[in-house]
Amino acid sequence: MKNPFEAITGIKIIKDEPISKHTSFHIGGNAKFFVRIYSIRALKRILKIMKKRKMKYFVIGAGTNVLVSDKGFPGVVIKLNGFFTKIKRRGNLFYCGGGVLIDRLLMNVGEQGYGGAEFLAGIPGTVGGSIMGNAGAFGRSFAEIVDEITIITQKIIEQNLDNKRIGFGYRNSKLKNGTIIILAKIRFAKKRRKNIMAEIKRNLKYRWQRQPVGYSAGSFFKNPLPYSAGKLIEECGLKGLRVGDAEVSTKHGNFIINRGKAKSSDVIELAKRIKKIIRDRKGISLKQEVKILN
C-alpha cells in the first residue's frame, strides 16, 4: 500500500515495523504502518485519513500491557511523542501529555516537592494508557488523582472529561476503544522531597523483590476481587506451566514470561489453560488484563 500519510508534517512513519521491538513481551509480527506523532494537528489529520480509508489503528504507550498477534497488525500503530510527552505545573496541578511515562512523571513531580502518587512507582506504561486501564497498586489507582482529561474520540472530536465522566472501575474505565488521551490534569500534594523519594524507593524495592525478571506484560489477569489471581494460580500448582516458550513465572503466578522465543499463540494457549483450570478447580473465571492486538 502506498503511504497515505506522506503529505502530513509532524510525524515519522515506518512501514512494516516489527511491533515486538516496542512491547515488553517482545512478541508479535509487523505493523503495516508505525507512526510517531508529535502534534495534535498531525494526530487529527492522520485520524481523518484513517477514518476515510476505514483503517484500523492502535495507540501504543510503553507496550507493557499488550500482546501482539504473530501475524502482526494490518493497520496503523500510533506512538505519541513531542507535545504528548510534555509536563507543566500550575500550582499543585500537573498537565501531562498522554505519552508521558509514569516513572518520568513521578520523578518530575517529586523533584518539585509534590507527591501523592508514589504508589505508582515501578508501574510501566504511559499516563494515557494507565488512565484508560485505571492502573494502580497497593489498593490505590489513577482514579484518585486525575481531575480531568482531554481526549480525541473516534469521530475526531476533542473533548474534556472530568473524573466522574471517565467512569473509572477496577483496572478499567468507560473510555471506548479508539479514544486517545492527549492530556491529563493530575492533582498532587505538596510534600517533602526527601520523603517522596524515600517512598518511591521503597515501592520500587517491593516490586523488584516480588516480581519476576524477563519479558512479560506485567500482571496478565485482573484480580477477581476479593481474591488474588496470582494466589489462585499458585494454589492450583500452575507455576512453571509452559506452552512452547511461554511460561507461568515460578516467582509470581500472575506473570506469563516469554523465555526468549515464545509466540503470541503460545501465550494465548497458556492463558486458556490457566483459565480452564482455575474455573474447574476454584469456580472462578479469570479475566485478562492484557490486551490482545490482532
- 235-287, pLDDT tens digit by residue? 999 999 999 999 999 999 999 999 999 999 999 999 999 999 999 999 999 99
Answer positive or negative: Cα dihedral of 136, 120, 23, 88: positive
For Cα atoms 151, 172, 100, give the angle at the middle one, nearest 5 degrees: 50
Question: What cell does 57 get?
Answer: 489503528
**Catalytic site includes residue 289:** yes
Rg (CA), the chain: 19
Query: Which among 33, 138, 37, 24 has a CA at the least distance from the CA of 81?
Result: 37
The 10s digit of each residue's pLDDT in 89-140 is: 999 999 999 999 999 999 999 999 999 999 999 998 999 999 999 999 998 9
Please check whether the two domains, 87-209 and 229-293, share a CATH topology.
Answer: no
Identify the active-site residue in 20, 69, 141, 219.
219
CA dist 118 → 102, 111, 176, 242 (Å)? 10, 13, 28, 35
The 10s digit of each residue's pLDDT in 19-30 is: 999 999 999 999
Q: Is 87-209 CATH 3.30.465.10?
A: yes
Asked whether 214 and 257 are in contact (CB, 8 A), the reply is: yes
**Catalytic site includes residue 247:** no
**Catalytic site includes residue 171:** yes
The 10s digit of each residue's pLDDT in 202-223 is: 999 998 898 898 999 999 999 9
Q: Which residue ranges make up each domain of the chain?
A: 11-82, 87-209, 229-293
Span 11-82: which CATH code?
3.30.43.10
Asked whether 24 and 11 are in contact (CB, 8 A), the reply is: no
What gap in Å lies between CA 70 and CA 66, rounded to an integer? 13
Identify the architecture of domain 229-293 in CATH. Answer: Alpha-Beta Complex (3.90)
Answer positive or negative: Cα dihedral of 26, 32, 38, 39: negative
Give mean pLDDT, residues 137-160. 95
Identify the active-site residue in 36, 140, 171, 273.
171
Torsion angles phi and psi, residue 209, rounded to 5:
-75, -30
CA dist 45 → 15, 38, 191, 210, 246 (Å)? 18, 12, 42, 44, 39
pLDDT at 1: 65
Pair type for strands 87-90 and 73-80: unpaired
